[in-house]
Structure 1
């Protein structure tokens, strides 16, 4: 039982990364109906912003995280303004391809800055761990879970009570109606990208604070958030959180038990497990667990 609970705890920590990234995907999709493939690059850039703040300006972790969030949000707004805004009205497929190009360009610059060596962000307490009920979790992972919970709660309050949050919800429901009500849809697009950039920066900062640090292939982590948004539903914010946690749990539990229970599946099946879960969910719920069903009248 202790082994199972430990794997669940580790899964929640890893799933928090996927949840933050999945939220960014959903934010952009709800506002623009475009799946952004630039999230991996935004995550890497966010981690490097935090690294630069700690290594060059010698800021502690938490101020560096704030700097990374602001820089990531500004980068997201810049991407929207320069790459996506001029293409408004073009087919959604075209915009998705553009985000792939943005991802490649940003990662090229990030890799040039990073170089061949890992870049790490020091976390307060270093490798200290918290022990309770026979379980163990590092301070970094505990901080990640807490920050994710606070971020999700803040977003929920923002969309429910803030005037701008309500305007974003209106834009996501119907852009033409939002325009008719005087909402500046272009501003809502930019804000969606800013929030997605900030969320990616949080994820990237905590990834850089792990023992391995930020490497040139770290961007692959963000691709695991894609099954999360499919599982939860492309347009569901609660679904993004639940989908991210589900992917982390499945990956962690599979890594622990699969070598003994089903060794015939081969090594590193845990990397495939999130996609297997996505396939099973889509067989039952084609729009994801919380996705909005589309009804087409002919």
Structure 2
């Protein structure tokens, strides 16, 4: 029973981190109709900045600068590169392909800089653990749950109670109507991309913290486990991204925790389990768990 509770708590923590990444996918898609395949590299960029700056600026200073820099990079990529192809839905399909090229360029440069090293991020939790009754959990996991909850709640408040959030929701429903009503589509979507970049940089902290050995060049690829979470929940649904992330996190943690019992499925099944769950759900709900009739772009 203790092992099951350990796996569930680890799964919730992992799902909370995936939710930060998946919410970034959803925000970018709602803002621009573009599925950003370079999101993992943006996360790696933010983590790399924290790793190289924390000795000089301290963890808090490095984190703040990395979040701002990653947000600025994501916003600039959209504003000055992708938007040149147009703001309509047809252009969004081409821009999605362009993000593959952006990902290759960013990842190649970052992989060259990181090499085979494991970079510590200087987070304040280290390898400390806390005992919650019969369950022992890493402090970094608890911090991931708390921080992700606060940040995701703040993002949902931005969607609901700010003029930018209203503009974003209007643009997601109908680009032409939103433009006619005075919504500045270019600024709205660049802001969405910047927000997604900030969330990715924050997620990098917890993906590279204990029990992970540190930041490595494959960290961005691990973050792409949040991609099936966004698809599973419904790519235009922030609530779906949260639900899908928790489901994917729990699935991955339970599969890894009970790997010995699931050996017939192969030793690497934990890596493909999120995609297997996504496919099973999409067979029943092609638009995702929270996708509606209007979510035809999923």
Range class of TM-score, shorter chain: over 0.9
Separation in 2 of the partners of 1:257 and 1:295?
36
Q: State whether residues 129 and 136 of structure 2, in contact with CA within 8 Å, keep that contact through their aligned partners in structure 1.
A: yes
Tell me the number of residue pairs that the alignment of Structure 1 and Structure 2 aligns.
Answer: 293
Residue by residue, what CA displacement relative to the aligned partner does 1:171-206 show, whole Å, maximum 9, x if unpaired?
Answer: 111111111111100000100110110011011122
How far is 1:52 from its partner? 2.4
Separation in 2 of the partners of 1:27 and 1:266?
35
Give unpaired runs (5+ residues) of structure 2: none
Task: Tell me the residue number matched to 1:252.
Answer: 253
Task: Tell me the residue number matched to 2:63.
Answer: 65
How far is 1:258 from its partner? 4.1
How far is 1:92 from its partner? 3.1
Q: Structure 1: which 4+ aligned runs deviate by more than 6 Å? A: none
Separation in 2 of the partners of 1:222 and 1:293?
29
Task: Tell me the residue number matched to 1:227.
Answer: 228
Task: Tell me the residue number matched to 1:173.
Answer: 173
Match runs of 1:7-22 below 5 Å: 7-22=7-22
Separation in 2 of the partners of 1:76 and 1:176?
24
Separation in 2 of the partners of 1:64 and 1:146?
20
Change (3 A) 1:295 1:268: closer
Task: Tell me the residue number matched to 2:161.
Answer: 161
How far is 1:225 from its partner? 1.2
Q: State whether residues 237 and 291 of structure 2, in contact with CA within 8 Å, keep that contact through their aligned partners in structure 1.
A: yes
Separation in 1 of the partners of 2:126 and 2:151?
23
Match runs of 1:179-258 below 5 Å: 179-210=179-210, 211-258=212-259
How far is 1:146 from its partner? 0.9
How far is 1:118 from its partner? 1.4
Residue by residue, what CA displacement relative to the aligned partner does 1:126-150 show, whole Å, maximum 9, x if unpaired?
Answer: 2111111111111112111111101
How far is 1:165 from its partner? 1.4
Give unpaired runs (5+ residues) of structure 1: none
How far is 1:13 from its partner? 1.4
